[in-house]
Amino acid sequence: MEMTAEPRNSQSPGHTANQSRACDQCHRRKIRCDRRVPCSNCQTANLPCRTLARRPVLAQVRPSTRSNEDSRFERLEKQLSDIQRTLSMLQSSLMESKVSDYPSDSAEVRDKPDTTANQHPAVVTRDGSSVTSSEMLAYEGASSLSVQSHLASEIFRDLVKGNPLDSSAPDISMDYSQLDKALNRNDPQSLLYDKSFPETKHQEKSQGNIVMPPLTDIVLLLKWTKGPTQPTLLSFLPLVSISELDSLCKKAYFEMEECTTSDLIIMNACLLFLLPEYCISQSNDDSVTAKCRLNSLLCQRNLELALSRLNLFMNLSLDNAKALILASMYAIGTHSLSMAWTLISTAARLCHSLGHHCLTVQKNTSSSDENTKRVLFGYVYILDQTLSLRLGRPSSLRECDLATDSLPTTSTSDLQVSDFVWSLWIEAAKLHAWTFERLYSPKAMELSQNARTEAMRNLALLTLAAKSRNSKLEGQFCDSGASPHQYLDFVQRANDVVFLSLLTLIYRSIPNESSDTLSPFNQQCLEAAQAALAAHHFCYVNYKDKHKYIWTIYLQWTVLACPIIPFLVMFCHAVTTLSLETMEDLEKFVTSLQPVTQTYIAGSKTHALCQRFYNAGKSYIETQLQRQKEASMTDTCPDLGATIFTDIIPEFWHVSDGTSYTPGNSGLNTPGRRQMQFGQDLMSEEDGWFFGDPTILGLADDIYHNIGNRSV
């Protein structure tokens, strides 16, 4: 488009106008234009003075500033993070749906208004993210297994980094790297990862479908429970009878609309506890083993789905309290200690509201009802007190508020036996709670060393007295020909492991002040740990093949609860003293943790963790001993050896007579000075047993997680 300027003769005389650019004629002839209309050049040459219309000026693109680039990068990082989180959620959903599409001819329980409460359900769920986030890092307190494992790892790390040759060794470096990766509790793939609440797909929660195992399989299982062999579940967990379980199964399969959330929790938890024992009893039939495995997965999925639908405010009833107890036991078996603590705390609140904590002043109930309430409250008390030590949190049931007799009266023929065993379990729970309050609570940690030592001695005496009472169990009650007492010897041995492991933790609160040994722990702690591992090995040799299901219960409720403490204590002792004999004992312990059957995998996490500790410790000790052997060979030529091998000789080593040899050029690293340094480290870093909020070392926990743990 062109715009033609009028010639000068069209303008009025004397009219002049200016334009912003040269005319086309001047521009073509490349002469200076005075930019008048018409210009003087065109007027002189008698040429039309024309100028093309100006094109619109495009907006200039300014170069990006640093702030703009930073904001763009932040948006990109956020988008990538969202994509990664979405992919992680999809991966978790695919893993959880491995049994959701299982075709079954069983009944389906449709979603219905829950009768446990009239409130809206307060569902606690995670966002499904598998990446480390601020919510995951803001954990309310590490579990005892995490704390103890990190302390043992730090002691081992200090030993390795103290010698540059050790840190550069490929075997030791690889083993320590794998161990360090396994101890990252914020990583969902870590062996210490704790699933705080069962993860449930949104689709499942909206539909509310629960697929039960095939009816024929459950009928065979119930017939087996009514047979001549009484299931162990009824001996150690008399909360639900076979008749009650039978009624719940009939309701689930034939009256689906009548099932409440508590009914589903009780039924699926009991089936989960019974299926492994039934599988072991039918060990010769591979088809039964496969069915039990699949049915266990279905029951586990149903139980977690029912737990995700629990209401925050539940009605005050015995069924709700039973459901919470069984769900808490399931959570402990799957190493979800945070979930177990939430469930058992709610059960304690229900029992407190129902008045079960002061049953001795209530005389208006029948004897059977009162005994049922006492048994139920007893299990709540035991789980609450022991979890208090394991998680480092104050108990929900305070001693000053209890008026209940800890020994419920029963009408069975073995009255004295059940009361005696029950009293031992109650006493063990009290000792666990007292250990936290007097040695490892935030208030106890602020006490002077003398006060903590006095508390340690008193607790040690109480624990030894309880262990002495336990030693009378077999001689006083056990009758080799009586069927009801066939497991008493095993119960006694398992109780010994519990008391010795607790004694190890009690002695551990005081650091080693002796210079006679290089171990970071005092002699009493080492002796208690050795005795605990020896008692465990006795159970392994004598009972693993004799009572396989009892052995699985022992692994979950005794070994996973306690001997991990003696194991880590002896591990630190072995790597600091370079004791292969101690490593042989630890190898036996690691071997004993292998699951008995595929239907029981709750101990796989602890077995894998202990295996990594053992591999790292053995590589380190063998490397050190090999270097000591090479260094000792240079003694045949002292002049040459003193100059060439000075840098590779360790600071000290043990010769055949047990004494310690110190090179002349390492006067500052004498055994006395090194032991003093260990003591100072333990004294100055007593809080090293706690990560995050103050947390107690107690029973083992846990959490890993490509292995789908669940309770027996």
Residue 455 pLDDT = 92
Residue 330 pLDDT = 84
Give me the residue label for tokens 């250990």: 435
| Range with the poorest average pLDDT among 425-434, 445-454, 518-527 | 518-527
Give me the residue label for tokens 């890993």: 704
- Residues in Cβ contact with 478 at an 8 Å cutoff, skipping those fewer than 6 apart: 485, 488, 489, 492
Q: Could you tell me the pLDDT band of residue 355, with boundaries at 50, 70 and 90?
A: confident
The answer, yes or no, to whether residue 122 has pLDDT greater than 60, is: no
Q: Which of 560, 581, 562, 582 is nearest to 570 (CA)?
A: 582
Cα(549)–Cα(552) distance, integer angstroms? 5
The answer, yes or no, to whether residue 676 has pLDDT greater than 60, is: no
DSSP per-residue letters across 275-332: HHHHHHHTTT-HHHHHHHHHHHHHHHHHHHHHHHT--SS--S-HHHHHHHHHHHHHHH
For the stretch 654-669, pLDDT in tens is 444 444 434 343 333 4
**Helix, strand, coil share of the chain (percent; to 5):** 60, 5, 35
Record the tokens describing residue 155, joined without a space: 């002691």
Cα(628)–Cα(648) distance, integer angstroms? 9
Q: Residue 679: is it exposed, middle or buried by C-beta count within 10 angstroms (0-12/13-18/19+)? A: middle
Instruction: Kindly give the interhelix angle for 564-577 and 523-543, rounded to the nearest 10 degrees.
Output: 120
- Residues in Cβ contact with 548 at an 8 Å cutoff, skipping those fewer than 6 apart: 280, 283, 596, 597
Residue 664 pLDDT = 40
Residue 644 pLDDT = 43
Cα(396)–Cα(383) distance, integer angstroms? 11
Residue 208 pLDDT = 54
Record the tokens describing residue 547, joined without a space: 């009572």
Contact 336, 195 (CB under 8 A): yes
Dihedral angle of Cα 366, 372, 378, 383, to the nearest 10 degrees: -150
Contact 203, 209 (CB under 8 A): no
Q: Could you tell me the pLDDT band of residue 286, with boundaries at 50, 70 and 90?
A: confident
Higher-confidence position of 334 and 429: 429
Record the tokens describing residue 633, joined without a space: 């060979």
> How far apart, in Å, are the Cα atoms of 59 and each of 21, 56, 69, 668?
20, 9, 20, 75
Which helix (H) or strand (E) is 652 found in, with range?
none
Contact 321, 372 (CB under 8 A): no
Q: Could you tell me the pLDDT band of residue 503, with boundaries at 50, 70 and 90?
A: very high
Contact 188, 706 (CB under 8 A): no
Residue 168 pLDDT = 53
The answer, yes or no, to whether residue 125 has pLDDT greater than 70, is: no
Record the tokens describing residue 408, joined without a space: 């419920």
Q: Please give the domain boundaries of the chain with CATH numbers for all domains.
A: 2-52 (4.10.240), 637-689 (no CATH)
The answer, yes or no, to whether residue 490 has pLDDT greater than 50, is: yes
| Range with the poorest average pLDDT among 18-27, 352-361, 631-640 | 631-640
For the stretch 362-381, pLDDT in tens is 444 556 667 777 788 888 88
Contact 219, 170 (CB under 8 A): no
Q: Which of 170, 9, 7 is nearest to 616 (CA)?
A: 170
For the stretch 293-302, pLDDT in tens is 888 888 888 8
Q: Once rounded to an integer, what is the mean pLDDT over residues 254-267?
A: 85
Record the tokens describing residue 444, joined without a space: 């106890």
Q: What is the mean pLDDT of the chain?
A: 70
Dihedral angle of Cα 489, 495, 499, 501, to the nearest 10 degrees: 100
Q: Which of 470, 545, 541, 455 is nearest to 500 (CA)?
A: 470
The answer, yes or no, to whether residue 52 has pLDDT greater than 70, is: yes
Cα(45)–Cα(8) distance, integer angstroms? 12
